[in-house]
Amino acid sequence: MPLHPEAKAIIEATTAAGGLIPEHLPAAQVRATFAENWRMPDDLEPVGRVYERAIPGPGGELRVRVYEPTGEGPFPGLLWFHGGGWVIGSFAENEATCRTLCREAEAVVVSVEYRLAPEHRFPAAAEDADAALSWVTERGAELDIDTTRVAVAGESSGANLAAVACLMAKDRGDRLPLLQVLAAPVIAPPADRPSYVDYATDHFLTRSSMEWFWAQYPRDAADLDNPYLNPLAATDLSGLPPALVMTAEYDPLRDEGEEYAHRLMDAGVPTELVRYHGQIHGFFALLADQLSISPMAHQRAIDALRKVFTQGLTLQPGPERQS
């Protein structure tokens, strides 16, 4: 399908502003500029309560923002990881999405402020994600969470961390989440997959931006083969939690996300794969207030979450396409 007019308008505005990521600037300055330019939506959905607290992390205290639904708990729990190439981003840009997921899935959403690169290189963010999942599954009752009903989710590099947290928990033999929701996931280093070639430029997220992010987070070339950074490098994906993988047609990351979904299917993991035609990277959370497709993507995630929280495993293996 052609680019959706809303996506095209975002691309044109981003291009006119000089691009998504000013790669010539130091990472700390890019991060500060992103934070300064972020605009919070005016119509945030009400939830029962929003508060912040600290939980133990491998590098010190981990800040989390907790979204609690109305009603009587304990509630299911959803761990959320923001995007930003492991370099930029925070609680703020996913505030609206976290509120929607909390309200509609009737779950306590725990948004994790993991350590950012290059100040904290791999495996810092992965270890923070792992620590957050372990804490919620062991001590989530402190947040009014039913620890037998926990899922993980994220967008872009946040989806990478959600997938990696599942891999780490599986390798350790820990209790696994009921579901992993991966929106436009970063799954592998930049490569010459068709989507990376066809949409390398002029489609919001660019290949050069991804190469810049991948220069900030790994410590060295050896890290690129580590499945806790590059999940496609994992040799055995069997036994992982069911997955909802959502990709965008005009996203350089499309093919690696879909390859991972098919790898999960081949390993016997119940996986639902949805490609949003005419759409670009960031359609789920980053651009949620600018793209009319976002509520549809949110609803698909909410439906999947409610099913696993209330009925157990119901996802059907096999790919699906939606425009």
Q: Which candidate in 128, 130, 251, 255 is catalytic?
A: 251
Cα–Cα distance measured from residue 271 to residue 262, given in angstroms and rounded to the nearest whole number: 8
149: its two tokens: 């009903």
Catalytic: 156?
A: yes
Q: Which of 90, 281, 294, 298 is catalytic?
A: 281
Instruction: Give me the sign of the Cα torsion angle 7, 9, 11, 17.
Output: negative
Q: How far apart are CA 47 and CA 94, in angstroms?
A: 15
Catalytic, 209? Answer no
Give the active site residue among 90, 156, 209, 294: 156
Number of neighbours of residue 252 by Cβ within 10 angstroms? 28
Q: Yes or no: say if 149 and 117 are a contact pair by the CB < 8 Å rule.
A: no
Amino acid occupying residue 238: S
> Is 281 tagged catalytic?
yes
Residues 6+ apart with CB under 8 A from 34: 84, 88, 89
Angle formed at CA 69 by CA 65 and CA 73, multiple of 5 degrees: 105
Active site amino acids: 156, 251, 281
